[in-house]
């Protein structure tokens, strides 16, 4: 990571004193730009060791040229894993199809998904 991190610092010298009366060691207040962690971390699901003989569901986010990119991804995966079954994005609800996120795993299970490819390169 490159770049410059800005730190807000202020010098506290008490009351407004003449230059000669200031303490030798000023007190600094610093605010960290990093912030605090507010999201509870969870473990990731275990990863598949292979896609051979698995079912991959393609889930669109309805972005740029999904009609080109999703089939291209599916074709590439099937070339590498000939026994792979693909459920096309046209048979799956889009990633933005409502706010009932709790229902998504059930939908994926109904379709027999072992893995989900979602998103788009747009």
Tokens of 71: 């089939």
Q: Indicate whether 87 belongs to any domain.
A: yes
Host domain of residue 83:
55-118
Q: Indicate whether 73 belongs to any domain.
A: yes
Q: Indicate whether 98 belongs to any domain.
A: yes
Query: Residue for token digits 């004193």?
Result: 17
The beta strand positions in 8-114, using DSSP E, are 8-12, 27-31, 55-59, 85-87
pLDDT tier at 99 (50, 70, 90 boundaries)?
Answer: low
Q: Would you call 78 helix, strand, or coil by DSSP?
A: helix
pLDDT at 1: 45
Average pLDDT over residues 79-86: 97
Q: Indicate whether 92 belongs to any domain.
A: yes
Q: Indicate whether 75 belongs to any domain.
A: yes
Q: Indicate whether 49 belongs to any domain.
A: no
Q: What is the DSSP letter of 88?
A: -
pLDDT at 103: 78
15-37 pLDDT per residue, tens:
555 555 666 788 888 888 887 87
Task: State percent of the chain over pLDDT 70.
Answer: 76
Q: Indicate whether 68 belongs to any domain.
A: yes
Distance CA(75)–CA(66), nearest Å, equals 14
Write down the pTM of the prediction: 0.61
Inform me whether the pLDDT recorded for 50 exceeds 50.
yes
Instruction: Let me know: does 65 contact 122? Beta carbons within 8 Å.
Output: yes
Q: Indicate whether 23 belongs to any domain.
A: no
Going by their DSSP bridges, the two strands 8-12 and 27-31 should be labelled as antiparallel
Please count the structural domains in the chain: 1
Distance from chain centroid for Cα 122: 15
pLDDT at 87: 96
Query: Cα dihedral angle (27, 31, 37, 38), rounded to 10 degrees?
Result: 110
């Amino acid at each position: 990571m490159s770049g410059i991190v800005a730190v807000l610092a202020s010098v506290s010298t008490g009351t407004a004193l003449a230059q000669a009366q200031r303490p030798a060691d000023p007190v600094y207040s610093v605010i960290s730009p990093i912030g605090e962690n507010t999201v509870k971390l969870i473990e990731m699901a275990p990863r598949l060791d292979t896609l051979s003989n698995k079912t991959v569901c393609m889930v669109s986010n309805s972005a740029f040229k999904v009609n080109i990119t999703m089939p291209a991804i599916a074709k590439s995966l099937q070339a590498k894993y000939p026994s792979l079954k693909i459920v096309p994005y046209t048979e799956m609800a889009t990633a933005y199809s409502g706010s009932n996120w709790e229902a998504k795993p059930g939908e994926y299970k109904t379709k027999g998904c072992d893995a989900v490819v979602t998103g788009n390169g747009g």
